Structure 1
């Protein structure tokens, strides 16, 4: 599932291509037909992202409600962008956006719907602070600090912290030296603050680079130059491989139905 940095990149890309001009919206697949008609021909006035949720706002008349396209990619959703005349739709294109110069196709999202302002507010209200939005981390850190649940599970709850997935969860906990099964209330306020700051920087780096790189240069096989895929992560998808810091085999387990990776020595229980 795309993590928060990818959704923020999509919001920026949609704004760059479509903001300030009318957009043609269609649903080649047909499942978003009514929503496409509600948005078609409207000017795109802004985009936003909160965690793994994307919002595209269109202009409206004074006597009608504002309309927002809300997208959650889920496990299989994907945006494809292009310039010029779009190709004939291939596959199940849920929504297509065009403005004569640019086009964007959306396939396989969990959510693709038109919302009114109070519905948009309800989505935001059920999500926790997003490190990429500059949100106050206080509510998230307080909630983690009160909980008996494992910190690894809490980081994946979008109502606690919005935008963190299995990759950032595993990598941030490794960089913090935190046992993923440690109860949130046993982590400590200072450590939680440092964990939030590191997540924010890692996510920002992901937005800039378009990929997740969490390793420090001294822990890579090549400390200079472009980071290879093999060097990009400390523990994610490295089950049984030697830890980059201490050579202990990386451990793997399932936690709440999601993959969990950690180093038993660098992240002691």
Structure 2
């Protein structure tokens, strides 16, 4: 079976036309797609660990959530992420193609935020929202309970919040999940719509100030929440290509709380 058959199947389901304008989803490194597929490796990001796993397994297609190449020129990419040059050279040597499904998957009606809810066991509480990226939940659950779900189901240990500790056992009925780094405009909109708790990642200082001044209740979780995309893609590929060799590589949080 050709690599092209797998790529076409996934791009048909998550077309690049649905990605955000700033997002370079698609191929970061591409070789002849008519070559025979030898194996697929799934990972949230392409790191040396992920590459070595692909080489060990003789896989020639790596599918990531985040694009390996964000800049238009590799020279600019090297300045921002010097480690990528060595990885790129090895990809060339081994003829391993790399493709990402980032916001074109996030923006699907059952995209990343919804998959997070599913992995947490909360998918039966999902309610329809006017855009696909956020996942809105109508559920009675406390802050402590939702944190414990992230700890126990996704294995996370690093969290931040602006919620007063005396409210940790308060029940929340309207919760929104914004996978990865939620856009501040989306967070503000959800807050103005009286969302009780908004869950997202990678919040910068100026955004925390906005959330404080607008009384938005926030739970910040690791960006690794988007790692759930691997379960979804593995399921899709196994159902469509039952003889395909697929390996998931789980990355760990690259930091810890002191």
Could you tell me the TM-score, scaled by structure 2's length? 0.30
Larger Rg: 1
Could you tell me the TM-score, scaled by structure 1's length? 0.29
- The structure whose residues are more often helix, as a share, is 2
